[in-house]
């Protein structure tokens, strides 16, 4: 339906205090016209007074009227609805009972979900679907396996849906998620949205706890291809792991390579998808994002090509 707003509306026969500081417009919407009164934040709010004034506005204009507020508190909104006072409070709510309209306009929460890059929780869900669930999986099961809250799993699935990577089917109260693409194709379609899981990198003494972590970087790639192992081994650790706080970090410029390792602190748990002591192939590929070393590029291409998708 087309909405038309006139430049302004002047009324006669109403008190000056109801005109001063308030702009009024005639709005045409869906074949109906109504008066819109813009109330500034400086105006004193009182639902009883606004209700009495509304009757005066409507009589003077000869049409329904509604107030426009820049923002409302929840108690103010409730008071207006209780007295059936029409109002618009962008971007929160539209309440026009004379048109049968009462809806929240929170700018559609789905549209606020970023679709440029995956959130860490989103990437975890994506990897879970790629590696574990060829026939799809229940959203609740994925949340339990990944340790995500209901809000986090919903936001992650909404982001993947918005990116066109998954679809959802609802049966009763259960929601099952399915990948839209399969095999190597899913990686190629998802690649523009995938993030580098490494939050930061530190150097530390390699003790038993560190050496029990998953290999990453050139160490992981070297264990899967003919690429030579680096002099300093590379491991991946979850940022929330207790191991992070216990690391004995060192300055590599003042230490010999012996007894030192490179620690990648990840945005999600690398162990969740690791196999045979190394991080998963998709995450590994993203750690080499913007890599210009031809040796690594060649080994990575070989690894991804030979991976059993």
Average pLDDT by stretches of 10, the chain with 309 residues: 58 84 83 86 81 92 91 81 87 77 53 80 97 85 95 93 89 90 91 96 83 93 96 94 82 78 96 96 96 93 90
- Position 292 scores a pLDDT of 86
- 91 preceded by cis ω (within 30°)? yes
Is residue 190 within 8 Å of residue 146, measured between CB atoms? no
- Please provide the DSSP assignment of the chain as one string: --EEE-S-----SS-GGGTTT-EEEEEEETTEEEEEEEEPTTSPP-HHHHHHHHHHHHHHHTS-EEEEES---HHHHHHHHHTT--EEETTTEEEEGGGTEEEE-SS-GGGGS--SS--HHHHHHHHHHHHH-TT-EEHHHHHHHHT--HHHHHHHHHHHHHTTSEEEEEETTEEEEEESS-THHHHHHHGGG----EEEEEEEE--HHHHTSEE-HHHHHHHHSSPPPPSS-EEEEETTSHHHHT--B--GGGS-STTEEEEEEESS-GGGT-BTTB--HHHHHHHTTT---HHHHHHHHHHHHHS--
Beta bridge partners, 168, equal 177
Per-residue pLDDT at 133: 64
- Separation of alpha carbons 160 and 133, rounded Å: 15
pLDDT of 186 reads: 92
* Tokens, residue 139: 């959203």
The phi and psi torsions of 17 (rounded to 5 degrees) equal: -65, -20
End-to-end CA distance of the chain: 49
Tokens representing residue 50 in the block: 């606004």
CA geometry: angle 41, 81, 65, nearest 5 deg: 70
- pLDDT value at position 43? 75
What domains, with CATH codes, occur in the chain?
3-104 (3.40.1350), 112-192 (1.10.10.10), 196-300 (no CATH)
């Amino acid at each position: 339906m087309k909405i038309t707003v006139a430049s302004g509306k002047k009324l006669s026969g109403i008190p000056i205090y109801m005109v001063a500081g308030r702009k009024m417009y005639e709005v045409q919407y869906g074949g109906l016209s109504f008066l819109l009164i813009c109330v500034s934040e400086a105006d004193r709010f009182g639902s009883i007074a606004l209700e009495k004034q509304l009757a005066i506005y409507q009589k003077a204009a000869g049409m329904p009227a509604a107030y426009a507020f820049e923002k409302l508190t929840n108690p103010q909104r409730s008071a207006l609805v209780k007295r059936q006072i029409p109002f618009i409070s962008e971007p929160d709510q539209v309440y026009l009972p004379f048109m049968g309209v009462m809806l929240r306009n929170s700018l559609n929460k789905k549209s606020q979900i970023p679709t440029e890059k995956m959130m860490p929780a989103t990437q975890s869900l994506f990897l879970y679907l790629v590696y574990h669930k060829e026939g799809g999986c229940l959203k609740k099961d994925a949340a339990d396996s990944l340790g995500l809250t209901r809000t986090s799993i919903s936001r992650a699935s909404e982001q993947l849906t918005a990116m066109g990577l998954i679809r959802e089917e609802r049966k009763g109260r259960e929601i099952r998620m399915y990948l839209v693409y399969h095999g190597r194709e899913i990686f190629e379609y998802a690649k523009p949205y995938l993030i580098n899981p490494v939050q930061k990198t530190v150097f530390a003494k390699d003790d038993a706890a560190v050496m029990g972590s998953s290999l990453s970087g050139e160490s992981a790639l070297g264990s899967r291809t003919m690429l030579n192992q680096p002099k300093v081994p590379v491991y991946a650790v979850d940022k929330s792991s207790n191991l992070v706080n216990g690391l004995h970090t060192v300055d590599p410029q003042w230490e010999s390579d012996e007894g030192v390792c490179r620690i990648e602190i990840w945005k999600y748990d690398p162990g969740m998808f690791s196999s045979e002591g190394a991080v998963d192939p998709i995450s590994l590929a993203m750690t080499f994002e913007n890599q210009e070393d031809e040796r690594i590029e060649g080994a990575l291409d070989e690894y991804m090509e030979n991976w059993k998708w």
